[in-house]
Every structure is written in C-alpha cells, then in structure tokens.
Structure 1
Amino acid sequence: MKKNLLLALFSGILLWLGWPPTSYITFLLFVGLVPMLLALENIIQSPVKRKGYHIFLTAFAGFFIWNTLSIYWVYNSLKTIGAIIAIPLSLIPYSLGPLLMALACWLYYRLRLATNRSTGLFGLVCFWMAYEYVHQTWPLAFPWMTLGNGFAVSHQWVQWYEYTGVYGGTVWIWLINILIFLYYQSLKEAQTKAYRVKVVTAFTIALVVPLAFSLIRYYSFREQQDPSDVVVAQPNIDPYEKEGSIPVQQQIAILTHLSDSVAQKNTEFFIWPETAIAEQFDENKTQSTAYYRQVRDFLGKYSNGNVITGAETYQVYNRPATESARAIPGTNQYWDAFNAALLIENSDRVQFYHKSKLVPGAEMIPFSSLSFLKPAFEHLGGATGSYGSQPEPSVFYTQSGIGSDPVICYESIWGEYVGKAVLKGAQFIAIITNDGWWENTSGKDQHLDYAKLRAIETRRWVCRSANTGISAFINERGDIVKHTDWWVRTAIKQDINLNSDLTFYTRYGDYIPKTASFLSVLGILFIGVKWRKAKEQAA
C-alpha cells in the first residue's frame, strides 16, 4: 500500500507544479492525475480488504498535498489571530476540498463494482464536476481549486472557455489523463494493438483539436472598437492600517491624487479598490458624508467621470428585513453591514452593489442557523454576524448608458455569476479587491490569473484595482496588457473597448457541471440500488 500512497502523493506534486502561477509547465496537469488513477486501480485489483476505505484515504492524501501546496497562503490571511486558532482554521480549505475530491474517487470505486471500468471512469468525471459545482454553491464555497482554473496562466490554450467556462477545462484535463492511464493499462494488460491504436487516436484528437481551435481563435480574434478611457488606482495602504491608523479622508486624498496623475479630461471611469472608503456610513445618508463630497469635488474636473469604489456601508431597518440583519441593542431597530461597491458620478445619484459571494467565516457564518458554530467562526476576522448581501449581481449604468459589472474580490472566481451581470448589460468588468491580507504570496498572482478566464468567458475587458496589487487591465483575449507591481503606490490608465455581444457561456452559464451533477445523482441512486440488492442476496 506504500506504493499507492507514493503514487497519490506524486499526483499531488505534479498538479501543484502545473498550477498557477507557475508558468510554462501547465502541461503537467495533463499527466498529474495519472499516478492517482494508477493507485486507485492497484487498490481495486488488489486482494486487500476494505478497498473503499483505502481508496478514500489514498485519494485524500494526494489531493491534500496538491491543495496545501497551492493555497498555503490562506494561513497568511489568518495568522494575525494567533497560530493556535489560525492553523486549524486554515485546515478547512486545505482539507474540505480534498475530502470532496476523495469522495468522488470513492463513488467511482463503488460504480466500478456495479459496472465496468469505462462506465466507472465516465462516472468519475461526473462525480468530480458535481463536487466542483457543490463547492461553488454551498455555504462553505471555495471554488479556487476547480481544475479548469489551472489554465489561467496558459489562457491561449482555452479560448473556447467562451463556450464552456472553466468546467470545459476540467473535462479536458480528466479526459487526457484518463486516456494516458488507459494506454498504460493496455500495455500492462496486453490489450490488442487495435485497442491501443484507438486509445492513441482518441488521445491525439482530444489534445490537438481543442488546442488548435483555441490557438486559431486567439490569434484571429479582433475586438470591436468602442473605446472608453479608464484609470485604475492602487493606493497601497496596508490592510491592517486601513481602519484606524490612516484617516479615511487622507486615504481618499491619496486615491484622488493618484487618479489625477494619469487622468485626462475625457476619462470616464476611475476604479478604486475594495473598501477604499474604509469607515462605515449609512447608505441612506451618503450624500451628507464628507467622503462623498470629497469624491464629488474630485469628479468636478472630469465632466464624464465616474468613480467605482469599494466601501464599508450599512442600512438601518425598523424590522429584521433580511436574514443577516442584527438587532441594535436598546432599540427596536435592526441593521445590516455591507462590503459594497459604489458608482459615484457628477450628479446626486449613487448606485450601490452589495457583495454577494461572501468569504465563509470572514464575512459570513456558514450554516448560521447552527448557533453552536458561531463562536468558532467569529475568530475569522472577528465578525459577530454575517455581512448583508444581495442574491443577484448588479450592473452600474452611467448617465451616458455605459454598463459595468462591479465584482468584489472573491466573487471574481465565479464565472457564471459574473456572466449574469454581462447578460444584464455590463460592457466591461470592474474587479475591486484587497489581496494584501495574503502578503507577497502566490495567492495574489492566482487571483489575478483567474480574472483572465472571466475576460475570455464573457469577452469583456477586465479593469482590476487591487489595494496593494496587482492591479491590471486585461483584454477580451485574456491578455494582461498593463499591470502594476506588488506593494507600490501608483495608478495606470488604459483605453479599453466596450462590448455588448454575448458569448455562448454567458447565455447558458454552467450547463456542463449542472448536467454532470444530474448524472451523478442518477449514478448514486444506481449505486445504492445495486448495493441494496447485493445485501439482500448475501442475506
């Protein structure tokens, strides 16, 4: 069994080496799962007892290595609360994903018992995509390690994400790995030459056709010319000093100075990072705040100017209007806090968007109805309750009719969610984020790389403002055409192209994982029926 464990661990290392932000060896993703498949096959074919138990543990070990090495930076965002708390909390994303991945492998084993290897492998891909879909929809969502994200560095290979989204990449990786595994097994099992030729032919088609299509699409792609001048500011304010050490008006002054340094009179958008306005204010009294007046004074120099900025806001209610509303002690009122985005323009109108995809633990309490979990999650950032949110994305429209999609930090990992705003009329994507919590680790680079996939899926420019970096402009092909360095105070300007055309993926969203999830449910029911019949026959 040590050999199988080593194979699984080797799989984890290969997947990590091929994972963003590593460049030039993305191809390792095409072989990274082969050792794992060999380990599972060895267990299935061995006389060992409790095979399902061994398969689950072996798969978990390999995928735990991959996840831990790839997202080690999660610990950095927690360590200020102390190692005693941070270490076990960081194990949640390190372990939860691998547990679900191992469950997919265990279901594959159970399906193999009831059918054959081919059906089992087809089921494995479906079970895996079902896990990925569950892991982006349930309260503990963390779709960071969705396999299709692995092509974020080599985005030239997956221009067809405009049809499939990242789940097309998941299918591609599994398909290539499975065909290599089958070829190896054909040699080991002395399969016929004709069978091996079929496998090699399938492998060649599966690898070459998507790659060739993508490269042709990439080099022949032309954007429609509809320019808009955009400025992205990167204030580089230490996230641990944003609230308290540096007055908010001073922070806004830094942002306006940076914006002025590169802007032109016809600049239409100034994009500032997440929580750029770091002191909470009542949304119903926005126009009376000193922060709003400071931004309006800045915009007075730009007749067509609009500011998209992050802010900490709240609303007060006379009743518990939302699930996240908290009682105000000593009153009959309730309030909601929001991680918000604002569009401020040269009028009295202010548009708000409330972050929807909240970070489990730090911004929302998963399974909040289970009150015994609250004390544990309160340690993640000190939240005593969940932020308020909104169920659907919003589109900010300027007076001139330009639509933008405000995307706050973590939300940029959800392809379908971003696509919904594009479907509503967004002509470009504005990502505002604060990646400083992760410090100078690969987390910030992965987050930037993933934004390239949103550009391809929707064929929209992405304008990314990150408090401490890396800020960037990404074109419709997914190329980073301009970017800042990490941990510098600066601003960059770019003429982007607005686009109103809709891609196939934008129209139909995550149809691939939804189909796979449906097939997985059927597969699980089939496994259950077979298991029950086997028990009845044994009795």
Structure 2
Amino acid sequence: MNLSFFSGNPGLAPSCLLPLSLAFFCALLFAAVFPPLGLWPLAFVALAPLIRLTASSGSPGKAFRLGFVFGFIFFSLVLHWLAPTVRTFGGLPWPAALGALGLLASYLALYPALFSLLIQKIHQRGGSLFLAAPAIWTGLEYIRAQLLSGFPWALTGHGLAPIPLLIQSADTGGVYLLSFALLVMNTALAFPGKAFKYPAAALALWLCLGLYGHIRITELESRLNEAPRLAVGILQGCMPPDQKWDPDFQAYTLERYQDLILKDLTANPPSGETRLFLWPETATPFYLFSEEAPTKKLLNIIRDSEVHHLVGSPAYALDFQKKLSLFNASYLIDPSGRLLSRYDKAHLVPFGEYVPLKDFFPFLEKIIVPAGYFTAGTRPPVLRLQNTGLAPLICFESVFPYISRKAVLAGAELLAVQTNDAWFGRSGGPRQHLDFSIFRAVEFRRSVVRSANTGISALILPTGILAKESPMDVPYVLHGKAPLLSGQTIYARMGDFFARTCLFVLVFYVAYAYLPFFSTKKGFIQNHAGE
C-alpha cells in the first residue's frame, strides 16, 4: 500500500489537490461543530463528503492519506488552545509548542485515517456502509478514549451538548450512541441508496431520538420538582495560575475567596439547610493541613461561614523512605473546621501531571516539564456530606465517564467538578471542557456543580440543561440548589456496552476487509442498494 502523498509522477499532483482540498474543507466544517463556534447542525452533514470521498477514492493508500489530512487539520483546530498553553505555562518556545500540537494532532489523525482506509476496502468489496461506517467510526472513538490512558476529547456526539433534547439517549449508550447516530446521518447523505431510503431511515432514527429526549425531559422535570435539593455556593476565584504560588499572593488569595463567601452568604442568608461551598481545583496556594499558618486562616474562614466546604488543594505524603508523593486533592470540611474526608485525583493528565513511559524514555523529562510530578490517588470516589453522596471530579476526570460511573455505583447523588481552566485562556477550551460535564449529568441523571478558577462555573441539571453559568475571567460566585436524584440509568448499569459492540463490529470489518475468506462470500453486509 502506497502511503506517500503522490505516486512520484508530477503530472498526477494536480489531480490530488482537489481531494485533499475537500478533506481540508470537511475538517473545517467538522471543527466548526465544536466550541468556540459551536455550529452543532454541521455535525449532521460535515462528514458526508469525507465518507463519499474516501470510500470512492480507488485505493486504500489514498483513502488513508485523505483521512489523515482531515484528522490532522480537524484536531489542530479543535485543540487550538494547546500550543498557547504549553508556550505560556510550560515555558516552551513557539516552535516546540506548535510541534507538541502537531505531534498530538498527528497521533489523533490516525483514527480517521484508519476509518477511511477501512470504509474504502469495504466499499471496494461491495459491502454496505450504512451501518458499517458508523460502527467503525464509533469503535475507533472508543479505542481513542482508552488507549495510552485515553483522550476522548471532541468525540462526535459532544458537538450536540448545547441541545439537551438531542442528547437524552446518552443515559442508555453514552456519548458513543450519539456519535453513531450522527455517523448514520452522514453516511446516509454520502450514499443515499435507491429512492433515498438511507436518509429516510436516518431521519426516522433522529425523530425517535428526539421523541425519546422529549419524553425523558418531561419525566425528569416532574421528578426534579419533588427531589431534595442541596444549596451550593460555587466559587470562582479567578486567580492567575502563574502568580498563585508567590508567597506575597497567598494572603490575597484567601481574602478573595473570603469575599466571595461573604457575598454569597449576604445575598442568600442561611436558613438552617445543609449547604456547601465548592472551591476550584488546587484553589489554595499551599498544602492544606500541612502548613499550619495558612491552614488556620482558611479554617477560620470556614468556621465563620458555618457551612460545609469542598476545597481543592495540593497535598503531599512521605513514605518510610522519605520519598515524596504529591497529590491533587479535594478536602471535605464541616462547618466547625473538622476534616470529614478527602479524595485524591485518580486519573492524572499525561505530560501535565506526570510523564508517561519516563522509565523507558528518560529523555522525555528533559524536554517536557509537567506542572508537577503527581501520584494517582486510590481513595474511595464518594465523600459523605451528611446524608448526601458527593463525588469530586478533579479537572481531567470529568472527561471520562467511567470515573463518574464508578462514583454513581458507589452511591454518589451529586457530581462536583473542580477545575482550573485558566490554562486555556480566552479560547474554546473552557466551553469544550464544560461540555463533558453536560454529558455526565445526562448519562447518570445527576446534578453537576462545577467550580472553575476562571470559568466556566456552572450548575447543570440531570437533564443536561445549564441552570446557571458564570462569565469568564471575573471573580464570581454562583448560588443554586442542586436537585439530588438516586437510581441508576441503563448507562450506569451497563457502561460502554454500546461502544464495545461497535468495537466488536470494527474487528469484524477489519477481518472482512483483509481476509480472503470474505472476498467470495455474500451476506448481510453485501450492498444491494446500488451504492
């Protein structure tokens, strides 16, 4: 298989420019689905030209490179915030920062490239793509979410996060079910079949999903009206991450949070109900309960408020050999200043909080400087706030549904996201990150309270509706009452069964595309629609 961009004949180069340009254009359309633009209707059509182009490209090599070009451009655009982030906070020069983005985009581009290669082979053999292409795409998204610690950023279904009506079926199959359904529509438009039967079937599927969404939202709104609620003050300190560890800045940080707490208590006086203040990730510029003087000041603030607090703070521990372990922690503290429980972040950010494979590739530590060499936590995922199960999700953990699922199965009734999205700056990153929390709310039918240092802080209902959200880059406090639901959704009980089914189908079609046995067989995968 020739994977070079051109066959070596200069006369063929111009004929390659049109397909490459079309792949580039599809990447632009698909990137526009996600924040900052958020043009979600494009999710139904943006991939159709790519599917038609690559399936009919004539050779696996050409399909692969068209898919790679698409993927590289798409991920470079969606992850536009990465280069400025590592430039500003990682200290890398611009060439190295852009190189880091290019390296990640190149890896992620392999997934649409493999998708394109497979559908070309299936189409060449006369197989129908109507269900095959969506299953292959979804199976590859699932692999991307698992491999190398996982990176499920900007999965296709996430593009629908702003439209609660269309994402309610995530409580059965997660975001992967939405990705599959969107690919069904795109594939139907690429290969409509006789009498446009495939677009008609895809439209019927989406009408069913919309009807399901309407029924579920109506049902849940009735339950939410009767559900117990927890009053929450969501703190957004808006502290510059590059200054917070300055000793002269420490007192100012505590004063900022104290002012926000007093502002909320003044506007919403206590009425004897259980109440919680939610702080962002690593909000304290010191090691809470390890540094006496600033810890005493913070506990006095908590005692004065007479409210429970969930405080994000770095933590450390020394083993018997005096080896230091750092943790990204969340402390639940009662109104008297007593520590009730603690959670340590379990799913760390590769290259941000640790350097993966450093024992095999020690040179990585010389060119990549993470924010800290953290240790993954092993503490239980659910903290008890009186009679309420509370599950902290620290930053990157909100991206992964399996972490929320584990917490819900352990009794969590409220998901509390603590993050510091200041790293993203004024980009689409904060809104992209928020979209994951919307899906966690729908998948598990839990309220999500989200405290982000510079925004976007939010209260998200179990329907996926943003009840309240903060402006960006200002000190702010959100006050709301989070409905507490119990019970388990199909997705909570079954997990990623739908995605794993697509993965099984993916493996089958790999065999179908490359094993000689299938070349002489006809069956349910044979295309009789005249694609």
| TM-score, reference length from structure 2 | 0.86
From 50, 57, 70, the counterpart of 2:65: 57
What's the counterpart of residue 213 of structure 2? 214
| Contact 1:139/1:360, CA 8 A, preserved across alignment | no
What's the counterpart of residue 195 of structure 2? 196
What's the counterpart of residue 116 of structure 1? 126
Do residues 135 (structure 1) and 144 (structure 2) align? yes
Cα offset, 1:247, TM superposition: 3.5
The structure-2 alpha-carbon separation of the partners of 1:200 and 1:139, relative to structure 1 and needing over 3 Å to count, comes to closer
What's the counterpart of residue 454 of structure 1? 440
| Contact 1:20/1:151, CA 8 A, preserved across alignment | no
What's the counterpart of residue 336 of structure 1? 325
Do residues 415 (structure 1) and 405 (structure 2) align? no
Alignment of 1:285-304 (within 5 A): 286=289, 289-303=292-306
Aligned letter for 2:48? Answer: V
| Contact 1:232/1:272, CA 8 A, preserved across alignment | yes
What's the counterpart of residue 10 of structure 1? 25
Cα offset, 1:240, TM superposition: 0.9
How far apart, in 1, do the equivalents of 2:260 and 2:98 lie? 38
What's the counterpart of residue 182 of structure 1? 191
Cα offset, 1:531, TM superposition: 9.0
Aligned letter for 1:272? Answer: W
Aligned letter for 1:298? Answer: I
How far apart, in 1, do the equivalents of 2:478 and 2:405 lie? 26
What's the counterpart of residue 192 of structure 1? none
What's the counterpart of residue 452 of structure 2? 466
1:372-403 Cα offsets, whole Å, 9 max, x none, are: 4523553344x5xx4111368611112x2211
Q: Could you say what secondary structure the match of 1:77 adopts?
A: helix
How far apart, in 1, do the equivalents of 2:114 and 2:376 lie? 31
Do residues 395 (structure 1) and 382 (structure 2) align? yes
What's the counterpart of residue 315 of structure 2? 313
Aligned letter for 1:199? Answer: Y
Cα offset, 1:370, TM superposition: 1.7
What's the counterpart of residue 78 of structure 1? 86
Q: Could you say what secondary structure the match of 2:387 adopts?
A: coil
How far apart, in 2, do the equivalents of 1:59 and 1:141 lie? 21
Aligned letter for 2:119? Answer: Y
How far apart, in 2, do the equivalents of 1:290 and 1:66 lie? 49
Do residues 69 (structure 1) and 77 (structure 2) align? yes
Cα offset, 1:136, TM superposition: 1.9
Q: Could you say what secondary structure the match of 1:261 adopts?
A: helix
Cα offset, 1:182, TM superposition: 1.5
What's the counterpart of residue 153 of structure 2? 144
| Contact 2:345/2:376, CA 8 A, preserved across alignment | yes
The structure-2 alpha-carbon separation of the partners of 1:376 and 1:172, relative to structure 1 and needing over 3 Å to count, comes to farther
Cα offset, 1:220, TM superposition: 4.6
Q: Could you say what secondary structure the match of 1:491 adopts?
A: strand
| Contact 1:393/1:417, CA 8 A, preserved across alignment | no
Cα offset, 1:142, TM superposition: 1.8
How far apart, in 1, do the equivalents of 2:383 and 2:517 lie? 53
| Contact 2:286/2:294, CA 8 A, preserved across alignment | no
Aligned letter for 1:368? Answer: K
Cα offset, 1:196, TM superposition: 1.8
How far apart, in 1, do the equivalents of 2:207 and 2:519 lie? 44
Q: Could you say what secondary structure the match of 2:282 adopts?
A: coil
How far apart, in 2, do the equivalents of 1:373 and 1:516 lie? 38
Do residues 268 (structure 1) and 281 (structure 2) align? no
What's the counterpart of residue 485 of structure 1? 471
| Contact 1:141/1:360, CA 8 A, preserved across alignment | no
Cα offset, 1:245, TM superposition: 5.7
How far apart, in 2, do the equivalents of 1:278 and 1:211 lie? 46
Question: Unpaired segments of 5 or more residues in structure 2?
Answer: 1-15, 521-531
Do residues 358 (structure 1) and 368 (structure 2) align? no
How far apart, in 1, do the equivalents of 2:233 and 2:291 lie? 26
Aligned letter for 1:293? Answer: K
Cα offset, 1:365, TM superposition: 1.6
| Contact 1:357/1:411, CA 8 A, preserved across alignment | yes
| TM-score, reference length from structure 1 | 0.85
What's the counterpart of residue 233 of structure 1? 235
Q: Could you say what secondary structure the match of 1:470 adopts?
A: coil
How far apart, in 1, do the equivalents of 2:445 and 2:82 lie? 30
Tell me which moved more, 415-424 or 26-35.
415-424
The structure-2 alpha-carbon separation of the partners of 1:495 and 1:423, relative to structure 1 and needing over 3 Å to count, comes to same
| Contact 2:445/2:462, CA 8 A, preserved across alignment | yes
| Contact 1:108/1:121, CA 8 A, preserved across alignment | no
How far apart, in 2, do the equivalents of 1:354 and 1:523 lie? 41
What's the counterpart of residue 106 of structure 1? 117
Aligned letter for 1:333? Answer: K
1:405-453 Cα offsets, whole Å, 9 max, x none, are: 1011111111232122112111111111111111111111221233211
| Contact 2:36/2:427, CA 8 A, preserved across alignment | no
